[in-house]
Chain A
């Protein structure tokens, strides 16, 4: 008999919890952004004031008629008013007719 067999055996329980989130399918993508409206969400950190204008410039050059709803319209979803802004975001996005959203940046 080996020493291992003399040791106690432990049956141990799973330490996590049940996942309660139902996986959803993504909305259909937009093969062509020409004439579409893209909303911007920004948490006002990590140099988005440089990044977002670059994104706009490149997308405008590639997709004629593309429109943007500037991040300032939605406000800082990670700032002092984060709860109020986040809870109203879906309605805001709908009311501005956004076809797609770019959200940034980091944490």
Chain B
């Protein structure tokens, strides 16, 4: 309920809030009725009829963007940031003016340019706030163009950042495409999704920090993030573009509408990750059938939440060696089509999973009638008929990355339409090459041995 109060303040609209104690999905009908009578009804009546209007929130006066808010030693800064709930529980790099300015050098944009006003605290995401949180996350200054593009993507209303505090506890996944992958030393090979390479790790951490500090998604002792259990943030995923081109497939960035060789970031939610999935053989069908068998099972549990809204975005990271075999026989579109056809589940089971989640009845006929779902979802009245867990083949994302020396792939599931897959061109500063070279020289300067 703290989240409701936070949202109310973020919208600037004072609301009367009635709270149902506990989880309504596990209460008996009797308990439910008793709690409605005892808790909800008095609060609803009071909220509707109280002669005292809820007053606008008297928010404390806050610093201006760019203001120095604390001075101290490293330990004192860390403690202060923890107390203010401005860190993610890990140490942060102190965002001094000098460090922040180094980030601002890597963009031609005005530090005070506002990209968007973000729910749920109603804060302005400006270029300066990106630089400050980038420093804190341990990014290097030259990552700044990527960070700006990420914030542009998550500020797009289609991304639905207002849903990032929901109970499934989805995390954003950044996918990087283009020459900037090598410019910034992003890992696209072995261990691509493990913490360990500075660019992948710190860019992933930046997104989590930005969600906390600009949107207000904080777990207790903060408020705003209702994630029930959750998992850690994702490191940024870079695609192996060279390999993808070599086998004759379009890159992921081209799949989402950009030109070959364009620097692009894509952000989408991830709520479920498959096991590491091994597949063998020298035919495309052997591998893609394995994807359907494994990912189909993993995705089938939560598929209802996307299907009832008409779309969701599965992402498959295909190991380069496997992609090579598949690409000899099938295009990416043929892979998508096969997966869409094979990844099915009984309609009755999807309805059951949906009802268990939040008590909602999944009425396929109604969803088809209103245009949310294609006809094939209501093509039969057999309750156990197989239905696709992915609404349309084109919703499937395919990225080649990982260890070329192993036959492993992995599937990632979006949280329905929340964190909808959204891409942005990465705008580099005018003198990118010179700035990058200067930064590299600084980083490779010889250090005195201890």
Contacts and interface: CB of A to CB of B under 8 A. Distances in A.
A28 B365 CA distance: 42
Residue from A16, A49, A79, A100 with most neighbouring chain B CB atoms (10 Å): A16
Contacts of A4: 73
Contacts of B59: 19, 23
A49 B114 CA distance: 42
Contacts, number: 187
Interface of A is mostly: loop
21 contacts: A10-B96, A13-B69, A13-B132, A14-B62, A14-B65, A14-B132, A16-B123, A18-B65, A19-B121, A19-B122, A21-B11, A26-B15, A26-B54, A27-B53, A46-B24, A47-B32, A47-B359, A50-B29, A51-B24, A51-B32, A80-B309
A50 B32 contact: yes
Interface string B1-45: 001000000111111000010001100010011001100110011
Contacts of B122: 19-21
B63 A23 contact: no
Given A11-B96, A17-B125, A23 B56 contact: yes
A69 to B, nearest CB: 14
B345 interface: no
Nearest to B123: A17
A21 B117 contact: yes
Interface of B: 3, 10-15, 20, 24-25, 29, 32-33, 36-37, 40-41, 44-45, 48-57, 59, 62-75, 77, 80-81, 86, 94-97, 100, 114, 117-118, 121-126, 129, 132-133, 136, 165-167, 209, 213-214, 226, 308-310, 357-360, 367, 370, 372
Given A7-B74, A46-B24, A55 B36 contact: yes
A79 B213 contact: no
A79 B309 contact: yes
Nearest to A32: B49
Contact of B12 (A12, A14, A22, A59): A22
Nearest to B361: A44
A102 interface: yes
Residue from B64, B75, B129, B358 with most neighbouring chain A CB atoms (10 Å): B358
